[in-house]
Each structure stands twice: as C-alpha cells, then as structure tokens.
Amino acid sequence: MASPPLLSLRDVRLTFGGNPLFEGVTTWVGRGDKTCLVGRNGSGKSTLLKVLAGQILPDSGELFVQPGTRIAYLPQDPAPDADTVRDYVVLGLPADERDQTYRAEALLAELGVDPDRSTVGMSGGESRRAALARALVGEPDALLLDEPTNHLDLPAILWLEERLKSYGGALVVISHDRRFLEQISKQTLWLEQGLVRRAEFGFAGFPAWQEETYQAAEAELERMDNLLRRELHWLARGVTARRKRNMGRLRALNGLRQERAQRFGARQDAERRAQLAVDAGDVSGRLVIEATRISKSYGDKLVVPEFSTRILRGDRVGLIGPNGAGKTTLLRMLTGDLEPDGGTVRLGTNLEAAYFDQRRDRLDPERSVWDTLTDGRGDNVWVRGQPRHVVGYMKDFLFSDNQARTPVSALSGGERNRLLLAKLLAKPSNLLILDEPTNDLDMDTLDLLEEMLADYEGTLLVVSHDRDFLDRLVTSVIAVEGDGTIGEYAGGYSDYLAQRPTRPSEAARIEARAETIAARPKVQAKLSYKDQRELDELPTRLEKLATEIAKLEVELADPALYEKNPARFDLAVKRLDAARDELAAAEERWLELESLKEEMAARS
C-alpha cells in the first residue's frame, strides 16, 4: 500500500438466510485509490459496499475507518426524500456548512437539475443526478458509488468521469459500464463466491486477470479429478480386503470429494450463463425504414427538426444524445409508433418487430415470472417454433426454480431486465428495437447479449448511453444533440466522436458554470466594517493555511511515519483534513466578500 488505508475490512463474514455471502474478506482502500468493485449480479457487490459504508454490520470481522474520515455513499436506487432538490443535496454538506446552499446550486447547475424542483415524481435520471450532487457536494474523504451511470446520459457520464479523475479521496465504484471503469479505475476488487481478490490495476486489466484465474482453477480441477479417479480405482480393487487397515485413506477420499464440491461445485453453479439466442424470423424486405424530412414539436419546443434517413435490412443503428433531447420521440416516429408533424415515414414489407422498453412498461407487476413467459397458458414457452418447459427456459436466463411463481414486482432491476429479454427473445422478429437495454445488466449477461446481437440476422435499432456497447455493436450512429441538430455518422460511438462537428469546449462549460454561480443572489448590499477587516486579513490566513498543508503533506509522505509513530500519523491526518476544510472555507469567504465589494463599487 502506498499509504495507510482510510477504509479496511478484516476477516469479515456475513450471512443471509443462513447462507454465507462473504467469508474471510480482508481488503482496504487508501486515499487516492480509485477502485472498481466487480462481480456477477447477486454476488454481493452492493452489500459489500454497504458494509464499507457502515450501513450493514457484518456477522464477524472488523470494519476500520480512519478517524475523521468523511464517507459519502450513493445507493443503487436513490430515493430523494426532502421537499426540494436543493434541500436534499444540502444534506450532503457537513452540519456546520449547510447554510452554504450555493455549493449545492453550483453542482446542480453542472448536472442540469433545477434546485427548486420538487423531489416528488422525479425520473430515474433526475434522482441519480441529485444523489450524485449530494454525494459530491461535501467533498468527502471516501466516495462509495453503486451504479452511478445508470440512467445518466452521455454528457452526464463524461462530466462524472472528469470529476472522479480529479477526485483526491478514496473511491470505490460499482458499474456495468466498461468504458467508464476503464477511464477512472486504478485498482480492482473482484468479488467471487464470497471471496474478494485485489489487483493493483484498473478494470482495463480485469478481463485478462479473470481469464488467467479461471484457467488456473480449471487446471486445479483437472488435477483433482485425476487424483479422484486414481483413488476410486484403488478403492474398487482393495478396500474390501483391507477395510480396517485403510479406513484412514477412505476418510481422506471422502474429504477430497467434499473439498472438490466446496471449491468447484459452487463455481459451476455461479458460472451458469444466460443462454441468449434470438430467432431472426422471416426475411424482411431490403428497405426497412425510409424517413423523409420528418419533424416533431411539443408546443413551442421543436424536438425533432427535419430529418431524413434510410435503414436497410441488416443495418445496426445506434441512437445517442442527452436525456430529453428527443431520442425516444425519433425512435417512435421511425418505427411507426408516433405520427410526425411533418414529413413521411415508409416502413418496409414483412416486418416483425420486437421491442425492449426502457421503462419495463410491458411487464405486468402482478404477474408471476411463469405467467409472464407463458402468457398464462400452460407450462411451455414457444421458442423459435419449439416448445420449452418454462422452468428450463427460466434457467437459461439465470432464474432459479423457486422464482417461477415470484411476482414481477418482487424482482430486482436486473432480474426484470432478464425477464423482458427472455420474453422478447422467444418471439421471432426481423427488427429488434432496444431502448437502454444495458441498464442493470451484469457484465456476463451483457457479454452474451452482445454475442447474440452480433449473430442476429435482422435489423437493429438501439438507444444506449453505453459507449463500449455501441462500439462493439452498431454500424452507424444517429446523434440527437439536444441543440436542434441531428446527425448521422458511419461506425460506432468512437467513430462519431472523430467525425462530429466541434462541440462547446470544457472552458466554455466552466465559464457558464461561473456565470451561474456569479448570478446567485447576494445576501449583503455593502461591506460592513467587520467584513472589510475580515477581507483584509484573509490573504494572510490563506497563505498560512497553504504553508501548513504543504508541511503536513510532506510529513505524511514519509512511508515510515505510520509504523514509527501511529499517534503522530493520526494527529497529522486529522489536522490535514481540518486545514484543508479551513482553507476551502476561507477561499469561499474571500470570493464572497470580493464579489460583494465589486458589486458595491459598481453601484457607487
């Protein structure tokens, strides 16, 4: 470790329903670490993150938090519970700083959320943006994020990436977005069968590491199988004649069987993969969709300007753009589900469409998994013209037998996703329409979905913010930019970035943010004697704090300090945190007083 940990787990054990979820977990996160936590859906990643956050107590073992460490936690399904978004975000500030509402307003401006908006009826994307602002606003020492990119559009994801790259605390993040993890992570925690492995490299190195680990396990399994076969051969020939003398060897054989079952039986269950396949149905005509100068407005707002395109059989088209820009509206017009205000849409012949809805509206929450797949008729699912028993088909999508009668309302987001995929892929189609299919999918199921779509012989329309998914899958991109323009580009998302016209720079965005902050109401009309004196003294105070922080950072950079003098190390860490907070507050106060002074001068 480069520095002593801010958070660590030692020999942690946790059980659910009598079954161990974790066993002997020992790991850590240090200041400056940017750690991704990976593992299959259901492996316990979110629970482990809650243990790190102190929200769940383990059955045994220890959670250590460096004294004075401030932790911010983003849950997978945030539910803002204050009157307004501003009130909710301000709760992320330390108690003595909650009057500094402008800090919440500045973050919300960057994320495009109205601070005065009621938290009632917020969309998934709005709730996540508000929750991100709350997690970030207090500049915590440790940041624990569970699926932060879910329901975010690409501009918000890119903004978050830049924010996390410059974050200096301890970061742990769970995400299915590969490109996002590759961009931000420097360490990897891999949760597998209740054990946590740690690697000092980011997610970019994880696939190779995972493959090497599995190959080593396969080699060990083969070695144990060979040993087991030899022991069984010996047992069949000689145990009867030498029963008393060799009972110890027989017990060893039974122990070997148990060890093999414990080490590899669970893995074989865990490695069940979603068996995804799709029937491309009958061949459609060569022309699938032809749109000519189509447009759509809602009131005075032009959502889709005049746009034309031709989509041919076998094309794989990705639709991208900010939330609210009009992607879904355009998709509905292209597929004949919504009439354009102007222009025409011509659909090809012999089309059989299958639709994956972003909001899962096509699942009845009161129906069971069984009835959803069979439409309430019998116990078979017709898959590509052949009957399959519903329980066997469920298992292909990683459902267990006892979930057959579970209502849809009791399923997790990932399970609903898989259920909708199971229903969708049983239906023959030659036009697949996928609206945000990757939300809540674990990486293994996402891999198989990509493989299935790569083999699909029909035409594909997909709305997604997942850059890696788009790069692996689509042959062209329609970009709904949100500023009244729509463009079409050959290739995937990376090709779109290389071809598109220059967009507003980061400097322009920062300037816009500064204007937003500068426009906030001032609480004072003029400087009082006390304020003027404080303003005069602040530069000296800022200089002293900066000097003190530099000295403390030099002292703490000594790797031997923690071993030689733990008490001094703890004291220095606490003082460094306090000095940084004091410096930030002093800088904010100086800016506030200077702004008031300039405003007063302008009015005089």
Q: What is the DSSP string of 183-218?
A: HH-SEEEEEETTEEEEESS-GGGHHHHHHHHHHHHH
User: Average pLDDT of 583-590?
Assistant: 77
**518 pLDDT tier (thresholds 50, 70, 90):** very low
**Average pLDDT in the chain:** 81
254 is in an annotated binding site: no
pLDDT of residue 483: 74
Query: Could you tell me which of 310, 399, 425, 416 has the C-alpha nearest to residue 358?
Result: 416
pLDDT of residue 92: 94
Query: Could you tell me which of 233, 227, 192 has the C-alpha nearest to residue 209?
Result: 192
pLDDT of residue 310: 93
222-236, 309-323, 344-358, 395-409: least confidently modelled range: 222-236
Residues 88 and 159 sit within 8 Å (Cβ to Cβ): no
pLDDT of residue 370: 93
pLDDT of residue 502: 60
**Does the pLDDT at position 340 exceed 90?**
yes
Which contiguous run of DSSP H or E holds residue 432?
A: strand 431-435
**Does the pLDDT at position 3 exceed 50?**
yes
Q: How far is CA 366 from CA 8, 135, 362, 369, 471, in A?
A: 42, 35, 12, 10, 37
User: Average pLDDT of 62-77?
Assistant: 92
**178 pLDDT tier (thresholds 50, 70, 90):** very high
29-38, 277-286, 505-514: least confidently modelled range: 505-514
Interacting residues of 101 by C-beta distance below 8 A, sequence separation 6+: 86, 90
| Between 218 and 305, the higher pLDDT residue | 305
| Between 368 and 604, the higher pLDDT residue | 368
326 is in an annotated binding site: yes
**554 pLDDT tier (thresholds 50, 70, 90):** confident
285 is in an annotated binding site: no
**Does the pLDDT at position 562 exceed 60?**
yes
Query: Using only C-alpha atoms, what is the Rg of the chain?
Result: 29
47 is in an annotated binding site: no
Residues 318 and 462 sit within 8 Å (Cβ to Cβ): yes
User: Average pLDDT of 400-406?
Assistant: 89
Which two three-digit tokens encode residue 470? Answer: 């788009």
Furthest C-alpha separation in the chain? 111
pLDDT of residue 44: 86
Residues 266 and 258 sit within 8 Å (Cβ to Cβ): no
In the chain the first and final C-alpha atoms are separated, in Å, by 58
**358 pLDDT tier (thresholds 50, 70, 90):** low
Give residue for tokens 């749109």.
Answer: 291
Q: How far apart are CA 38 and CA 36, in angstroms?
A: 6
Which two three-digit tokens encode residue 234? Answer: 């010996």
| SS3 of residue 571 by DSSP | helix
Which tens digits make up the pLDDT trace of 239-272?
444 444 445 555 555 555 555 555 544 444 444 4
**557 pLDDT tier (thresholds 50, 70, 90):** low
**Does the pLDDT at position 503 exceed 80?**
no
| Between 503 and 557, the higher pLDDT residue | 557
Q: Structure pTM?
A: 0.69
Task: Tell me how long the chain is.
Answer: 604
380 is in an annotated binding site: no
pLDDT of residue 182: 94
Query: Could you tell me which of 78, 79, 76, 9 has the C-alpha nearest to residue 41?
Result: 76
Which tens digits make up the pLDDT trace of 235-244?
555 444 444 4
Beta-strand ranges (E) seen in 31-91 are 34-38, 60-65, 71-74
**85 pLDDT tier (thresholds 50, 70, 90):** very high
**Does the pLDDT at position 337 exceed 80?**
yes
Residues 86 and 27 sit within 8 Å (Cβ to Cβ): no
350 is in an annotated binding site: no
What is the residue extent of each domain of the chain?
5-208, 209-270, 287-499, 529-603
pLDDT of residue 65: 93
Q: How far apart are CA 284 and CA 459, in angstroms?
A: 9
313 is in an annotated binding site: no
68 is in an annotated binding site: no
205 is in an annotated binding site: no
pLDDT of residue 131: 95
Which two three-digit tokens encode residue 102? Answer: 């402008």
**Does the pLDDT at position 71 exceed 60?**
yes
For the chain, count helices (H), then strands (E): 20, 20
Q: How far apart are CA 437 and CA 463, in angstroms?
A: 8
Residues 416 and 428 sit within 8 Å (Cβ to Cβ): no
User: Average pLDDT of 315-319?
Assistant: 92
User: Average pLDDT of 503-523?
Assistant: 45
412-416, 434-438, 455-459, 488-492: least confidently modelled range: 412-416
45 is in an annotated binding site: yes
**Does the pLDDT at position 217 exceed 90?**
no
**544 pLDDT tier (thresholds 50, 70, 90):** confident
User: Average pLDDT of 189-209?
Assistant: 90
**88 pLDDT tier (thresholds 50, 70, 90):** very high
Q: Indicate the Cα dihedral angle 280, 282, 284, 286, nearest 10°.
A: 90
User: Average pLDDT of 359-375?
Assistant: 83
- Whether 5-208 shares its CATH topology with 529-603 is answered no
Which tens digits make up the pLDDT trace of 133-172?
999 999 999 999 999 998 888 889 999 999 999 999 999 9
Which two three-digit tokens encode residue 396? Answer: 């292909």
321 is in an annotated binding site: yes
565 is in an annotated binding site: no
Which two three-digit tokens encode residue 461? Answer: 């329309």
Listed in sequence order, the DSSP H helices in 96-168 are 101-111, 124-137, 154-165
Q: How far apart are CA 225 and CA 220, in angstroms?
A: 9
Q: How far apart are CA 116 and CA 105, in angstroms?
A: 9
Which contiguous run of DSSP H or E holds residue 224?
A: helix 206-238
287-298 and 342-347 as β-strands: parallel, antiparallel, unpaired? Answer: antiparallel
42 is in an annotated binding site: yes
Give residue for tokens 């006390």.
Answer: 530
**Does the pLDDT at position 222 exceed 90?**
no
CATH of 287-499, one of 3.40.50.300, 3.40.1800.10, 3.90.550.10, 3.30.70.100: 3.40.50.300
- DSSP state, 264? I
Q: How far apart are CA 271 and CA 442, in angstroms?
A: 13
User: Average pLDDT of 90-119?
Assistant: 91
User: Average pLDDT of 523-545?
Assistant: 74
Q: What percent of the chain is predicted at pLDDT more than 90?
A: 34
pLDDT of residue 559: 62
Which class in CATH covers the domain with range 529-603? mainly alpha
pLDDT of residue 242: 44
Domain 5-208, what architecture? 3-Layer(aba) Sandwich (3.40)
Residues 309 and 291 sit within 8 Å (Cβ to Cβ): yes
Which tens digits make up the pLDDT trace of 429-484?
889 998 888 877 777 778 778 877 887 888 999 999 999 889 888 989 999 987 77
Residues 225 and 265 sit within 8 Å (Cβ to Cβ): no
Starting at the edge strand that comes first in sequence, how are the strands of the sheet with 142-146 ordered? 71-74, 142-146, 170-174, 34-38, 187-192, 195-199
Q: How far apart are CA 17 and CA 2, in angstroms?
A: 38
Which two three-digit tokens encode residue 522? Answer: 């001032």
325 is in an annotated binding site: yes
Q: How far apart are CA 295 and CA 330, in angstroms?
A: 9
